[in-house]
């Protein structure tokens, strides 16, 4: 499979703004956000994993929605993109339970 061209700095910034907006509105799963972050960098899963100090399988499982990443893994990945790990609703459209 031919390698994609890496996005330009302006394209990366535009992709980052859109992702931050969607994340803020709760419109992305962790897997979708991870894939968007990786695509911003133009890296393969293996390259992205090596760059963030985690295993390729961690990235692959997160993107598929089958992984249970550690807080440390998520923090390492998110930090580069101006994000932090925090409490988010478990479902995109489900309101929080009433107390």
Please report the domains of the chain, with CATH numbers, ordered by start residue.
9-79 (1.10.260.40)
CA distances from 40 to 8, 10, 11, 76, 97 (A): 9, 11, 8, 16, 35
pLDDT tens, position by position, 10-57: 999 999 999 889 988 888 888 898 899 899 889 999 999 998 888 899
* Structure tokens, 95: 């309101």
pLDDT tens, position by position, 51-74: 888 889 999 999 999 988 888 888
């Amino acid at each position: 499979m031919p390698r994609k061209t890496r996005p330009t700095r302006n394209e990366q910034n535009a992709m980052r703004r859109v992702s931050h907006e969607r994340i803020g509105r709760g419109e992305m799963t962790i897997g979708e956000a991870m894939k968007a972050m990786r695509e911003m960098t133009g890296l393969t899963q293996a390259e992205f994993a090596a760059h963030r100090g985690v295993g390729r399988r961690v990235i692959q499982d997160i993107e598929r929605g089958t992984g249970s990443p550690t807080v440390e893994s998520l923090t390492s990945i998110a930090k580069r993109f101006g994000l932090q790990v925090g409490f988010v609703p478990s479902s995109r459209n489900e309101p929080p339970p009433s107390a």
